[in-house]
Structure 1
Amino acid sequence: MSFEFVIFLLAGAALGGFINGLAGFGTALFALGFWLQIMPPVQAVAIVVVMSVVSGLQGVWLVRRAMMSQRRRLARFLLPALPGIPLGVAALSVLSADVLKAVIAGFMLLYGGFFGFRAALPKFERPTPVGDMAVGFLGGVLGGAASLSGALPTMWCALRPWPKAEVRAVLQPFNVTVLGLTALTLAIQGTYDRETLIFIAVALPVTMISAQIGIAVFKRLNDDGFRRLVIAMMLVSGVMLLARVAL
């Protein structure tokens, strides 16, 4: 590994772990922006799903009480996601690095714009089980294809009058489960070779420490501060990644 390679690997691990600890999602959005510069898409996604699961487990423990009180709500998202995972993994094998980077940059800008104008969007007060299941299925596909399982569920949950703990009680276990199964699928396909395991061993400690920092920040933010920080990080990172793709 060259010095530049190590810097990109650790930078992606640090930012990905921090945003996962802070928001309960987004490891892929930040980590893949770096890792797709230095490794092929399948390898980058294989590493990021492991990072997402390991750092996400810390967040699951944080919202365990809210999660247990909302088991049915979580199931509406999670069960339809399961058949979407192998479809996404199949799509990953044909995606180029530039296409995947453009998709991730697009989601970052969509995230930032969505949350920036969320106050003007309609709110769903009543249960919407069909919508929940459709979003869960698409989250499974995106999780298998690009480790982006939390993208659509995050925006969908933002249209509900749920406090941040309840939102996270859906997103965190949903992401951990979908990405854990994605990692298992990739392992069965033989994706985790010796080189990939070495990269994981180097990145994992940085991800874990950064996730703890993100969790500490999450505990200190009110709902409005939490929203503003996520918006800013998504917009700035999306613009930077899109610029790198265009150049």
Structure 2
Amino acid sequence: MDVQTIMFLGIGAIAGGFINGLSGTGTALFALGFYLVVLDPVTAVAIVALMSVLAGLQGVWIVRAEIFAQPRRLLRFVLPGLLGIPLGLSLLNVIDAGTLRIAIAVMLIVYGGYFGFRAALPAFSRPTPWIDKGVGFVGGVCGGVGAVSGAFPAMWLSIRPWTKSETRAVLQPFNVVILSTTICLLALRGAYDATAVQALLLTVPVGLVAAQVGIMVFRKLTDTGFRRLLIILTLLMGLGVLASELF
């Protein structure tokens, strides 16, 4: 492993781990751009998915009470998400990764730009079980195709007037379950070869430490501050992904 590879893997692990600890999502959208510079797409996705799960388990622990308080709400997202994973994985070998990332980036920028600078945040409070299921399914597809399962759930949950812990109690375990399933399917396809294992020896410990720093910042946020963070995060993720593809 040369110096350039170590540098890109380390920077990606720090960025992805911190964002995961802070918001419960965003590992792939912040780390994948760095990893794709030095790794092939399947290996990069495999590494990001595993790092997301290991860092995400720390975040699940801090909202465990909220998870057990409303398990049915979580299942509305998780079960359709599991159905979307095989479709995402099947697209991984046929879709152009650059085109996909640009499309996702544009959607994130439009959403984050529209809501991020409004004085008052939207508050969509009525129950929406079918929308929840649809968002979960799309998240599953995105998890399989690019380890970005949290992008669309983060957009949707940021306009729900829930506490930061309630929001994270859906977003974090959703990502962990979807990406754990993705990891198993990727492993069956031989994605975790010697190159992937070598990269994981660097990215996992760095990412776990960075996630702890992110969790410390999360604890200091207000509920409204966390919602606004998710919206601004989508804008930043979109700009970062677009820049990595165009430049």
Q: Same fold (TM over 0.5)?
A: yes
Supply the distance in 1 between the matched residues of 2:97 and 2:140 (Cα, whole angstroms): 20
Give the equivalent residue in structure 1 for 2:90: 90
How far 1:84 moved relative to its partner? 0.7
Give the equivalent residue in structure 2 for 1:29: 29
Backbone CA RMSD of aligned residues: 2.1
Corresponding letter in the other structure for 1:53: V
SS in 2 for 1:67: helix
Distance 1:73 1:54, change over 3 A: same
How far 1:80 moved relative to its partner? 1.1
Give the equivalent residue in structure 2 for 1:78: 78
Distance 1:106 1:164, change over 3 A: same
Q: Percent identity?
A: 54
Give the equivalent residue in structure 2 for 1:177: 177
Deviates more, 1:101-110 or 1:159-168: 101-110
The Cα offsets for residues 37-75 of structure 1, whole Å up to 9 and x where unpaired, read as 111111110100000000000000010000100101001
Conserved in 1, the CA contact under 8 Å of 2:155 and 2:230? no
The Cα offsets for residues 62-93 of structure 1, whole Å up to 9 and x where unpaired, read as 10000100101001111111111011011112
Supply the distance in 2 between the matched residues of 1:125 and 1:240 (Cα, whole angstroms): 31
Conserved in 1, the CA contact under 8 Å of 2:112 and 2:234? yes
- What count of residue pairs does the alignment treat as equivalent? 247
Corresponding letter in the other structure for 1:94: V
Supply the distance in 2 between the matched residues of 1:148 and 1:5 (Cα, whole angstroms): 22
SS in 2 for 1:190: coil
Distance 1:111 1:48, change over 3 A: farther
Supply the distance in 1 between the matched residues of 2:156 and 2:215 (Cα, whole angstroms): 22
Supply the distance in 2 between the matched residues of 1:73 and 1:107 (Cα, whole angstroms): 25
Give the equivalent residue in structure 2 for 1:205: 205
Corresponding letter in the other structure for 1:195: T
Supply the distance in 2 between the matched residues of 1:65 and 1:161 (Cα, whole angstroms): 19
Give the equivalent residue in structure 1 for 2:156: 156
Give the equivalent residue in structure 1 for 2:20: 20
Supply the distance in 2 between the matched residues of 1:82 and 1:13 (Cα, whole angstroms): 26
Matched, 1:192 2:153: no
Any gaps of 5 or more consecutive residues in structure 2?
none
Supply the distance in 2 between the matched residues of 1:181 and 1:230 (Cα, whole angstroms): 24
Any gaps of 5 or more consecutive residues in structure 1?
none
The Cα offsets for residues 127-182 of structure 1, whole Å up to 9 and x where unpaired, read as 11111111111111111111111111111122221111100000011100000000
How far 1:120 moved relative to its partner? 6.3
Conserved in 2, the CA contact under 8 Å of 1:112 and 1:234? yes
TM-score by length of 2: 0.92
Conserved in 1, the CA contact under 8 Å of 2:116 and 2:232? no
Distance 1:101 1:56, change over 3 A: same
Conserved in 2, the CA contact under 8 Å of 1:115 and 1:227? no
Supply the distance in 2 between the matched residues of 1:79 and 1:112 (Cα, whole angstroms): 27
Supply the distance in 1 between the matched residues of 2:239 and 2:128 (Cα, whole angstroms): 33
